[in-house]
A and B are shown apart, each in its own frame.
Chain A
Amino acid sequence: MKLQNIWFVVLATKINFYLLEYSLKYISRYKYKNIFIVLIMSTLVALLASTFFLSNAMKSEYNKLISNYPDIVVTNQQALRDTTINENSSYKILEIKGVSNVIPRVWGEYYFLNANKKFTILGKDEYEMYSNPLLNENLNLTKDSMVVSLNVKRILEDSYYDDYFNFIKADGNVKKMLITSVLEKSTLINGELLIIMNKESAKEIFEYSKNEVTDFGVSVANKNEIPFIAAKIKTIFPSAKITLKEDLKVHYENIYNLRSGFFLTVFIISFFTFFIIIYDKATGLNSEQRHEIGILKALGWRVGDVLNTKLYEGIIISLLSYILGIGLAFIYVYVMKAPYLKKIFLNNYSLISNYNINFSIDYETLALLFFLSVPIYIAATIIPSWRVATLEADEVMR
């Protein structure tokens, strides 16, 4: 016989089925009270579990997006405002030991008046080596063609731009761009309203001069060296703003934590409620329950038997509500994709407005919620009964 089966047999012989039956009867005797407790506890577990599941899914999505970002971004500043930078000065950064690549990036936003939306325009050179796999693909962009994301396509279609779009330049002239294909899913930051086009065309729309670019994305081979290289770039361009990938991560985490403050409030309130229930249960039994224990003792039950029935009662109720709560949270987050709750995290200014919720079992959350609910509830049922059961039978019934 396998070891696991032996353990099962040992456990089964240890369970006193008469006492188990008694505790089941006991639960059914106080039907409405116990149903209410299961309801409250499972709702609390479900509420907490679904917020944890959702926030973890979102965090992993953020991290995936940021992992494709360049290690250091160098933005030129004039009067502490972001301006463009000369493409040729990227060679100065390339001369630094440890830098593996510098990409002069051309990107920015275009305001589409009709729909009151800002499109993110990204210039791409066909042969440059990007850290993002999406940009490394050959998109076959010509001077008058662009690739748009699904949301941009929809917005343009609402304004009857089915297969092309007219960008209005600063001098009032129109630049006509054909839509060659649509991106179903993007792996870029600000990827929701994204337009990818040739670097030259993007420069034309932004009215950049020949050597002007928006900023430099610097890749570093040995991640250990990033702070040193950032310091060196600062000496070459004293007025430039240097953003590390780590800083960006912190920045987005801050935005996100602002919202998770809301969940902290939910967390505190729900646990406060839960502990009120527990406190109420733990401070003492009512006279009916005390009498019952007294009668059982008078009938000859030992203290251990009484505690066993209480243990079974606690396990059945808390485990049932825990499993129910987690199951509800799983269905809500992973099957229904968390409607309403998702909207709390998101607004128009957030990094991503429609992220995927990938299924993953988050053992940490499961364990946290288990230890916060099940053992505490069991203890709250056993301890007051133990206090009563250790007294003499006549003293209890008096």
Chain B
Amino acid sequence: MSLQQIFKLFSLTLFLSATLFAYPQITQNIKDKKIYPMGQKIYKSKCKEKDFTNFKTYNSLYNTLNKEKACGDLSKKNVEILSVYLWDIKLHNSTSLEKLVVTKDEKCQVCGMFLHNYPSWVSRINYPKDETYNFDGMKCMFKFYFNNKKGITDILVQDYYTLKTIDARSSYFVVGSDVYGPMGHELVPFNDKKSANIFLLEHKGKKVYFFDEITEHMVRSLGH
């Protein structure tokens, strides 16, 4: 291999890596907590009516925003935030579930406790034709679930750390921790296994279970 070829190869990899790393290296935590909310705010105040669905690469999106000023005069940092938001959310259509809101006089279907005192523990089971049941904790929800499994459309719980609504069927639950719900010992729900493991270590939990691994006996053994 001649020196020229090596140089060509070197410049090619350099060029490739430059395009590869054009999309900024940001962890998912920072994106979720900082970039997406800020990006949404910029998008809503600056360029709500424009369509951003026809971009093939992140770079082309970034350049239209930065050089052609598609969304008005923004600082370099804000352009980056907006383009990451648009690239991740608008183009890839990741939607989030609605927050679980309860009124002041709603009660748990199993134990009859008022729900509004413990908003972070509210969970919900949906059936077709707008038939919904709210519960004041995972324990009550599971008791109901094991008795009425037929025809359920969604089971919604809230992630302990973020309080975002998540699908219970793809969630992890920590048992035996020192965090108590409205009805005492609880199964604490998490969106991902990593957070569940962190919680397990910090709050002296016993074990992490996936939704399918939870049995009726286990729920009953946590008490009423």
Give the number of residues in B that approach A within 8 Å (Cβ atoms): 22
Q: Which residues on A sit within 8 Å (CB–CB) of B27?
A: 95
Q: Which residues on B sit within 8 Å (CB–CB) of A102?
A: 33-34
Q: Is the CB of B120 within 8 A of A222?
A: yes
Least Cβ distance of B85 to chain A in Å?
Answer: 11
Q: Which residues on A sit within 8 Å (CB–CB) of B195?
A: 97
Interface string of A97-120 (1 = CB under 8 A from B): 111111000000000000000000
Q: Which residues on A sit within 8 Å (CB–CB) of B198?
A: 97
Q: Is the CB of B33 within 8 A of A94?
A: yes
Q: Which residues on B sit within 8 Å (CB–CB) of A18?
A: none
Interface string of B46-71 (1 = CB under 8 A from A): 00000000000000000000000000
Q: Is the CB of B37 within 8 A of A101?
A: yes
Give B27's nearest chain A residue, CB to CB. Answer: A95
A292→B153 CA distance, assembly (Å): 85
Give B34's nearest chain A residue, CB to CB. Answer: A94
A221→B163 CA distance, assembly (Å): 6
Q: Is the CB of A99 within 8 A of B38?
A: no
Q: Is the CB of B38 within 8 A of A128?
A: yes
Q: Is the CB of B37 within 8 A of A129?
A: yes
Asked whether any CB of chain B lies closer than 8 Å to the CB of A127, the reply is yes
Give B179's nearest chain A residue, CB to CB. Answer: A224
In the complex, which of the residues B27, B34, B78, B160 has the most CB atoms of chain A within 10 Å of its own CB atom? Answer: B34
Least Cβ distance of B189 to chain A in Å?
Answer: 12
Q: Which residues on A sit within 8 Å (CB–CB) of B38?
A: 127-129
Asked whether any CB of chain A lies closer than 8 Å to the CB of B30, the reply is yes
> Which residues from 213 to 234 on chain A have a C-beta closer than 8 Å to any C-beta of chain B?
221-225, 228
Asked whether any CB of chain A lies closer than 8 Å to the CB of B147, the reply is no
Q: Which residues on B sit within 8 Å (CB–CB) of A97?
A: 161, 195, 198-199
Q: Is the CB of A127 within 8 A of B161?
A: no
Q: Is the CB of A91 within 8 A of B161?
A: no
Known contacts A127-B41, A129-B41, A228-B202; decide if A98 and B161 are in contact (CB<8 Å): yes
Partner-A contacts on B (CB < 8 A): 27, 29-30, 33-34, 37-38, 41-42, 45, 78, 81, 120, 160-163, 179, 195, 198-199, 202
* 7 pairs, CB–CB < 8 Å, chain A vs chain B: A95-B29, A101-B33, A126-B45, A129-B38, A129-B41, A224-B120, A225-B161
Task: Enumerate the 3 nearest inter-chain pairs by beta-carbon distance, A residue then B residue, closest first.
Answer: A98-B161, A221-B163, A97-B161
**14 further contact pairs, Cβ within 8 A, besides A95-B27, A95-B29, A128-B38:** A91-B30, A94-B29, A94-B30, A94-B34, A97-B161, A97-B199, A99-B33, A101-B34, A102-B33, A102-B34, A127-B42, A129-B41, A138-B45, A228-B202
